[in-house]
Structure 1
Amino acid sequence: MLQEVIETKLREAFSPLELKVINESFMHNVPVGSESHFKVVIVSEKFEGQRLIGRHRQVNQVLADELANHIHALSMHTYTASEWKEQNQLAPDSPMCLGGSK
């Protein structure tokens, strides 16, 4: 499963304190069982002192093959431990798809 590949790669690269990889394909106009739209919530000490764009670039680099060949959309929420605590350990909900038949 693509979701497991994403989780494994992110765990190896970031040693996250918290990691959620959520398949949100069901929210989009894709066949049942698709793995094309994901939301990643990742909390890592490796993000300390980095701007958001740098964090996202790191995640994109780790998942370069998946983004090039399998993933249509990736929503990223990257936090340091203190930022995650400030967020009450909650990431924003993703909006429903406005395209297609959904």
Structure 2
Amino acid sequence: MQVANQIRDILTAEFAPLELKIIDDSSKHAGHSGADPRGESHFSVLVVSDKFDGENRVNRQRLVYGALNELLKERVHALALKTMTPAEFKDAQESGSH
């Protein structure tokens, strides 16, 4: 199974996201330290979930890293996260800053 699909499955099960975007940035890191020759080692991820209500940015990221722990150990070298509540996502869409 592709790594991006594994990320999608795990985050969907854990966070029931209203919005989930996973972008494979691996090609931007080819030849760099930590780049996996198989690809799918660097990702940017947007997760919009009610589970982030009341959590600060650091705790939100800890939740996501915890859910993806095995993939981070074995396959994913870098993960750029954007974690938002539905209200924050709506505000960002309305202001055009998401």
TM-score grouping bracket, smaller chain normalisation: 0.7 to 0.9
Mapping 1:26-65, distance limit 5 Å: 26-30=27-31, 34-65=39-70
Q: Give TM-score, length-normalised by structure 1.
A: 0.82
Aligned residue number for residue 9 of structure 2: 8
Instruction: Give the aligned CA root-mean-square deviation in angstroms.
Output: 1.7
Gapped regions of structure 1 (runs ≥ 5):
92-102
In structure 2, how many angstroms separate the alpha carbons of the residues matched to 1:13 and 1:90? 26
- Contact preservation (8 Å) 2:30, 2:37: no
Cα shift readout 1:19-68 (whole Å, capped 9, x = no counterpart): 01111101112477610000110000010011011100000000001111
Q: Residue 23 of structure 2: SS of its match in structure 1?
A: strand
In structure 2, how many angstroms separate the alpha carbons of the residues matched to 1:43 and 1:85? 10
The structure with the largest helix share of the pair is: 2
Aligned length: 91
After TM superposition, where is structure 1 displaced by more than 6 Å over at least 4 residues in a row?
A: none
